[in-house]
Structure 1
């Protein structure tokens, strides 16, 4: 039984063999019964026809009847001919190993003679003009026999009967031959079922085994194995589903690994960003506590540095919380009709004084068009502040920045260009990552947390827009975002 549970090939073979045997068995039984009845009916019709034919022979029931004629007739259909008179006494009985000629004087009754099936009631029915038949064992001849009795008519009167008996052995031989053919057909069917089951089972089991190996590989963490799909049936669909599962699992595992790596990097970056200002605050505080500040001006300088680092910490924490909430979809955008041109003008004015202090030329260029769209004004303002602030940080004195608004077909584009050092091509995809800073040397002096661009990217994408950068080293950078109207 264990092998049955483990082998699809054996199960399929047993099923097909059982199916062939059941079909052949019931077909053989039905065919045998039908053909046996057909043969019996044909033989009965033949005997009845022969008996009626013999009954028409003139003086057939006379004792002087030539027995040679009856012998010839009996030999013709290999049976027995019995002529009886009106009282049921045998006149002639010839054929099937019996030869009783002209025995009417002996008064031998057909009823009970040598286990013949005839009864007195049968004789009465025959004398009334009816045809009687029997089928069954004839113990005297040790054989199954089919017997027919027809009345003898003479000038409208029934004067006796002609009884014909024929052995059923030839019919049974035909039935036996048919049964042997059925058995041979069953053996051939089993052979064909074996071949077909082997071919079919190999067709089924091969892809199943491949799917098994692919599943085992996935269990071991290898999602690269694929099952070749050659059919569109249920097995082909299963193989295709397994391939899709492997692909999706590989993508999800890769995503989880990337998220885990990002999480570790995030924790490490946050720890680094927090450690530095805390160390500075600790150092200045200890200096004040130890009385290292020799003058009021020096003490005030220490306090200003501490305050600056505290503000940096607050800004860092606020940006981290903002980024996490935006990414988790926990911040609800307060969408409303706004004028992007008006909003950009407001933010630009806030930075004009800072630009003048840094000796940077700042300009705002708004092309003719409609800049009304649905957006969260506070979040869009946050993006503009971040981009303009970054441009001012990287632009040296004597440089310039330019804010440009352009109306597109179904969207609005805002770009902030600077004349700073530019960004290397290999670094451009990385600037949108958390805590990434192009200029590592300005990590402390610039005041940036490395989260501004990541937040800006998430805000613009939440609005259904896109954000990107165009830059060449030594030729400045242009940050731009596009928001659909």
Structure 2
């Protein structure tokens, strides 16, 4: 837990930056020291380029019979006394050391590679390093010149320009001054760079920290919190960098979650109201049914045949009402939970309207009502579930007949639409009161004026109609028209070409 709290993105970036900065400073120091060393070697080699040639001009070094050891020793002693940094060697043509002035035990090689000497004499780019006879593996800058006797090459003068004494003195000076200065300068640069980098990282990652806080608040407070975070999210979403894109994505996500949360809350509220209304409307007919049956039982001997028959008819009507509501509730549950899926087919909607009219002819005649089809010619074929759409028309016509007074008219109008057929079902009844229109398609509606047998109940019919049309990608709405009662409109999609 402690590591998790410490290892924030800002801190991890800072640690990585510090390590990279130290590595870069170390590499820079190494390169600087190396470049400084190479520069010093080149300067020394250029300044002393003619030293070996000057020594080779001394005619006393060689005699026809070989080296003049006395002259060689005298020259070497004088040169190394004047410049203790140099070490002078006389080489044979094969690179073997013929003469030298090294203290006993200091000489580690008996010959020197000739390739660097040839490169130097040919004018190659400096610095050029050659073998150091006083080291088994070291290479140092040098000066070299051919040694001639009688006009013929007899060997080489080989001068190491940074000998043992120079190395010892340079090591002491580097330890005392140069290395210390270099390290202190690198440390100062690293410290300043680290401070600047940490400040820069803090500024760069500040939007990310603010976004993280907004996410945490959203996590703890839920979908209600984005409203208070709107200014912060709007500011973080400006720009085109990765953090702005992340802020935009989070803003869209919170809006979508908030919308879904509101929809779920509304759906839950509607469901609660649905259950409450169903419970109430089941209790009313059940109470009436129980009361009439109890009356029949208690007064069986004192009731006349006419009274007994009337009580039984009322009880039967209440029983039908309960059965009808239970059936609608079962059907709505199947639609709500996806048990029923529309099986679409192509059919003529005008033919279906005529079939449904035939089902209600007797009911309409009994109430002296007129069923009127208003079907435009040339209607396209629709693609839908035939049984479900029949149920939609049945529910709408059933409600219209039950709530239209005697002598009224129920009309079904079909008109071609841009993507199918527009359907309008209207009546000349009293219409739906304003207080019931808001939740007309989300909860059961029971209008006043129901008959004693319970057939005047609107029940869940409109809710079922809405769910069926939603499964078909459509919707139903209540519209206002002069001289009309309840007017419902919806649309069905046309059949697609095979």
Q: TM-score range by the shorter chain?
A: 0.7 to 0.9
Change in 2 beyond 3 A, CA 1:28/1:465: same
Give the conservation status (yes or no) of the 8 Å contact 2:207–2:243.
Answer: no
Q: How does the TM-score come out when normalised to structure 1?
A: 0.76
Tell me what 1:356 maps to: 365
Report if aligned partners of 1:402, 1:417 keep a CA contact under 8 Å in 2. Answer: yes
| Whole-angstrom CA distance in 2 between matches of 1:98 and 1:371 | 118
Residues 422 and 471, structure 1, Cα contact 8 Å, conserved in 2: no
Greater CA drift, 45-54 or 4-13: 4-13
User: Compared with structure 1, are the counterparts of its residues 188 and 443 closer, same or farther at alpha carbon in structure 2 (3 Å cutoff)?
Assistant: farther
What secondary structure sits across from 1:413 in the alignment? strand
Residue by residue over 1:376-400, the C-alpha shift from the partner in whole angstroms, topping out at 9 and shown as x without a partner, is: 3332222222212222223223432
Within 5 Å, which residues of 2 pair with 1:148-297? 152-156=147-151, 166=161, 168=166, 177=178, 180-181=181-182, 183-221=184-222, 222-224=224-226, 225-226=229-230, 227=233, 228-291=236-299, 294-297=303-306
Indicate the residue corresponding to 1:103 in structure 2: none
User: Aligned residue for 1:68?
Assistant: none
Instruction: Please name the residue that 1:320 is paired with.
Output: 329
Distance, in Å, in 2 between the alignment partners of 1:87 and 1:110 is 11
* Worse-superposed segment, 314-323 or 415-424: 415-424
Question: What SS does the aligned partner of 1:363 have?
Answer: strand
SS state at 1:90 partner: helix
Separation in 2 of the partners of 1:378 and 1:285?
37
Deviations 1:219-251 (A, max 9, x none): 133432353324544433443443344333323
Among residues 48, 57, 68, which one is paired with 1:85 in the alignment? 68
> Deviations 1:414-451 (Å, cap 9, x if unpaired)?
222222223456753421122134x3454976532431
Quick one: structure 1 residues 443 and 53, their matched pair in 2 at CA, closer, same or farther if it must change by over 3 Å? Answer: farther
The Cα shift of 1:473 comes to 8.2
Contact (CA 8 Å) 1:468, 1:481: kept in 2 or not? Answer: yes
CA contact (8 A) 1:418 1:476 kept: yes
For residue 268 of structure 1, report the CA deviation from its aligned partner: 1.2
Pair 51,208 (structure 1): closer, same or farther in 2 beyond 3 Å: same
Q: Are positions 1:389 and 2:398 aligned together?
A: yes
Using the alignment, how far apart are the partners of 1:15 and 1:337 within structure 2? 67
Distance change (3 Å), C-alpha of 1:462 and 1:352: same
Moved more, 156-165 or 416-425: 156-165
Deviation, structure 1 residue 298: 0.4
State the partner residue of 2:440. 431
- Return closer, same or farther for 1:373/1:86 CA change in 2, 3 Å cut-off: same
Residues in 2 aligned to 1:36 and 1:203: alpha-carbon distance in whole angstroms: 40
Who is 1:412 aligned against?
421
1:94 counterpart residue number: 78
Measured in 1, the distance between the counterparts of 2:324 and 2:374 equals 30
Contact 2:344 2:383 in 1 (8 A): yes
Distance in 2 separating the partners of 1:112 and 1:318: 122
Distance 2:468 2:287 in 1: 33
- SS of 2:429's equivalent? coil
Distance 1:474 1:9, change over 3 A: same
Q: Secondary structure of 1:94's match?
A: helix
* CA distance in structure 1 between the partners assigned to 2:309 and 2:70 by the alignment: 157
Q: Does 1:375 align with 2:376?
A: no
Q: CA RMSD in A?
A: 4.1
Of stretches 301-310 and 325-334 in structure 1, the one that deviates more from structure 2 is 325-334
Question: TM-score, normalised on structure 2?
Answer: 0.74
Which of 466, 482, 486 is residue 457 of structure 1 equivalent to? 466
**Cα pair 1:335 1:375 within 8 Å, conserved:** yes
CA contact (8 A) 1:55 1:162 kept: yes
CA shift in 2, pair 1:308/1:19, >3 Å:
same
Per-residue Cα deviation, 1:21-42 (whole angstroms, up to 9, x for no partner): 2122133324534553564366
Aligned twin of 2:485: 476
Measure how far apart 1:61 and its partner are.
5.2
